[in-house]
Structure 1
Amino acid sequence: MTEQTRQRPQYTSLNEIQQRKAELLKEIRKDSKEMNTLWHGLFNKPVAKGRKGLSVSGIVNTGAGVVDGMLFAWKLYRKLKK
């Protein structure tokens, strides 16, 4: 059982205890920041690198929407003209 347990450090002054406390706090903050990054990475969508309006698929999609709107307006015009 003594092989499995970690040996506790022997402190001889309050200064050593304060230094160890500061080291542990620094490690805890680093781990917390890393966990926070990983947690938000699970649920947030990755940010798109390109702008949608400038991509080819964006232009085609917008153009198809415009044509569809024009056809719809033309059908309404013909139907209401009578």
Structure 2
Amino acid sequence: MCSQLLFIGTSELLLIAALALLLFGGKKLPELMRGLGQGIRSFKEGMKDVSDEASRSADDKEQQTYNEQSAQNEANTADIAKPEHEQ
């Protein structure tokens, strides 16, 4: 029964559109749809920004780990390369 509620047919959409037209009027309806479209666009941009920020943060952490490992490897190599009397 629940799955049937998810499928909205043409007649249902026409009924919803007619009710919206009656409630809000012909002049206000385009303004409402424009506002809805801008809200959806803003939401999508916000989601993209969050995704990009998370990706950048992960890349920064990976780069920092690589730099720390490189520095540790260089320090280890320098210790190995020293003669015994200098260690």
* Same structural fold, with TM-score higher than 0.5 when normalized by the shorter chain: no
Q: Which has the higher contact order (CA 8 A, sep 6+)?
A: 2
Give the greater-gyration-radius structure (CA): 1
Shorter-chain TM-score bucket reads 0.3 to 0.5
Answer 1 or 2: which has greater helix percent: 2
